[in-house]
Each structure stands twice: as C-alpha cells, then as structure tokens.
Amino acid sequence: MYLQHWGLEASPFSTTPGVDEPYPSQPLDEAAARVDYLVQQRRRLGAVVGECGVGKSVALAAIEREQRDQGVEAVRVDGLGLSPRELLWRLATGLGAGADGADDAARLFRRVEDRLAENRWQRRSTLLLVDDADQLGPDGERMLARLARLEETAEARWTIVVALRPAALSRLNELLLHLVDLRVDLPAWTEEDTVGWVQTQLVEAGRYEPVFTDAALRRLHLLAEGKPRHVARLADYALLAGASARAASVTPEVMARVFNEIRWSPTAQAAGA
C-alpha cells in the first residue's frame, strides 16, 4: 500500500542515507577536503566530530572511497566494542598484512608496522578511519595512540582519522588527544540539503510529482534538526502515515503527528509542538 499509494517503485528513504552513494552536501565535501589535507600533509591524527545522526559513518565511507581512488591504502573499521587485538586484526586484515588467526596482539602489531614500512618505501600513503572511536574503551584508545606514534619521521605516510561525538572528545586518552592535528566538525544538514535529499530520493524511487508540501519539508527539517538519519526516519514514517490516511500529500500536520510517535530529543519535541 505504501509504494502503490505514492506511485513509488521502491522505498525512497533509508535509515542510513547515502552510505553507498552519499548526498553531496557542503558538510560532507568540507570533511573530505580536510581529511585529504591531513593525508597530503602527512599528519598523524585527525578527529571528525559530530552529534549522533549527522552522518559520521557516511562521511568516513565516502572519504575511504575517495582516498582509495587517489591511490591511498585506506582501511575503515568500527571501533564499537573492539578489543586492542580485534582493532589490530581488522587493521592488519584490511592492509593485507598476512594476519593469521593465531596471531596475538604483539604479532599483529608487528605485521601492521611492517606493512606501513613497505608502503612508505613505495611512497604510498596509508589511512586508518575509525568510526565510533569513543566506544573503543581505555585499552583500545591506548592502542590507537600507540598506532598513531608508529611513524614519527618526515617521511611518514601514515594517518589515522577517528570519528566521535563532541562530548567524547575531551574524554579521550590524554596522549591520543594531544596527537590530534586537526579537528573536523561535521554539522547537520542545512534546510537546502534536507529538501534536496528528500526530492532526489523520491525521484530515484520513481515519483516525479511532489509528495511533501513546501511547508512540510520545512517542518521535516526543523523536527529532524537537520540530522540525516533522523530526516530519513521521519520522512519514511510520514509517507507511511500519509498512505494509511489516503492523503494526497504530506502536510506539516502529518509531519507533526508522526513525529509525536517517534520523537528523539527534548529540543525536537518542543519544535513539534
């Protein structure tokens, strides 16, 4: 009923918008440019900082693809719950460093070290992207700091970029925090970004006529606080609610009603009043 009512060929909204083909927003372009600066200038550590839902994972995925296209050996891992050995295992595996299942942390560290030396000799840059770095735990953060200090010469071509929430930045391991060369803030979408993404997704799903009124799109952006993940969730639910009510379009009233059922923050709750 959902797709048929709106004349859609597929569901237009994903809960993680743009992982495979990210929407080309200004915040994403800026983050990619700053990470490229870190790699090109051979800096050791950068931090992509943003609130939950603003697209840090999407940004890291896009940066990984872009850097690989430029010849950089890039590895992306999710730090959630990783032990130091698991972090090293995923890094060594991603680098093709010949990791063996029986390797302990010390052996994996040496494999990574050898691979970085090989890349440096070949004048090839290496990039590690760690999503949810604030979820590594104290031991994982210490290992990340040790990795960041692996190459400290002028010829180093080893860069680490961590993604985390603003509140977690000051709680990082002190040594790791002092190694940060550049902070890359990832803001929420502008209203133009939100509207552009929604309309693009609808067209790609086969709907060429407007579904959301202009006022509904403005309300969507306000209620979702410009956070891509929330924009996608709320837009999807609005389509479902509109189809159930056999509405001709999604209005601000529809947006406010469905928001009251899935609201996620005090600020947004006040906006939906």
Give pLDDT, residue 51. Answer: 92
Q: What is the pLDDT of residue 36?
A: 97
CB 161 within 8 A of CB 46: yes
Model pTM?
0.87
What is the model's pLDDT at position 27? 84
Sheet holding 182-185, edge to edge: 73-78, 126-131, 158-164, 45-49, 182-185
Considering the chain, what percentage of its residues have pLDDT values greater than 70? 92
Q: What's the pLDDT at 273?
A: 40
User: CA-to-CA distance for 41 and 26, rounded, in angstroms?
Assistant: 22
- 64-73, 87-96, 207-216, 256-265: segment of lowest average pLDDT: 256-265
Rounded to whole angstroms, what are the CA distances from 236 to 17, 70, 211, 239, 247? 12, 36, 12, 5, 15
Question: 147-165 pLDDT, tens per residue?
Answer: 999 876 667 899 999 999 9
pLDDT tens for residues 26-81? 888 999 999 999 999 999 999 999 998 899 999 999 999 999 999 999 999 999 99
pLDDT reported for residue 154: 65
Q: What's the rounded mean pLDDT across residues 241-245?
A: 92
β-pair type (126-131, 73-78): parallel
**Residue 19 · residue 61 · CB < 8 Å:** yes
**Domain locations in the chain?**
2-21+189-271, 26-185
Can you read off the two tokens belonging to residue 12?
A: 């237009």
Report the distance separating Cα 137 and Cα 82, nearest Å. 8
Condensed to tens digits (0 to 9), the pLDDT of residues 88-100 reads 999 999 999 999 9
Q: Please, what is the average pLDDT of the chain?
A: 90
* pLDDT recorded at residue 15: 62
Residue type at position 96: G
Res. 16: pLDDT tops 70? no
pLDDT in tens, 92-151: 999 999 999 899 999 999 999 999 999 999 999 999 999 999 999 899 999 999 999 987
Question: Does the structure show a pLDDT above 60 at 266?
Answer: no
Give the least confident one: 139-143, 184-188, 256-260, 261-265: 261-265
For residue 272, pLDDT beyond 60: no
Q: Does domain 26-185 fall into CATH 3.30.390.10?
A: no
